[in-house]
Amino acid sequence: MNHPIDNVASFMDLGGQYFPNDTDRDISKGDIRKFVDRIDEEVEETFEATFAHEEIEFAEVLDGAIDTAYVAMTLAIRLVGPLKARKAWDAVVDANLAKVDGRYGDPILNPKTGKIGKPEGWTAPDIEAIINA
């Protein structure tokens, strides 16, 4: 199975969207804004599918959730290229798994929100090191 970042990079390449091979420190705020606006658009569509109708439109909610992640991955690839985006994805996945896989004890679950907390000793992924490598 291909890595999700590789799948999105292939989509971007086939669609003629530019992305760098490494960190693009010259990317403009305007370019980033275009991606953030597309993320906002997907979130809004997901919100509407959930709350704008009497019944939840499950297929639309699921599609919106995945489209939101997909557009976010296009931004990651546009910022640092596929290799570093893949490394950052893997680092975030590993850090999140560390919250629940027993490395730091039992998972901490907020009963009100359902959010998984950061256990004592947990450290965030070093995304800055990935960007600067």
CATH code of 20's domain? 1.10.3420.10
- The answer to whether the CB of 73 falls within 8 A of the CB of 119 is no
Range of the domain at 70: 4-132
pLDDT tens, position by position, for the chain (133 residues)? 699 999 999 999 999 999 999 999 999 999 999 999 999 999 999 999 999 999 999 999 999 999 999 999 999 999 999 999 999 999 999 999 999 999 999 999 999 999 999 999 999 999 999 999 9
Pairwise CA distance, residues 28 & 6, whole Å: 24
Number of domains in the chain: 1
Write the DSSP assignment of 49-106 as a string of letters. HHHSSSS--HHHHHHHHHHHHHHHHHHHHHHHHHHHHHHHHHHHHHHHHHTTSBBTBS
DSSP at 16? T
Indicate whether this model's pTM tops 0.95.
no
Pairwise CA distance, residues 28 & 78, whole Å: 11
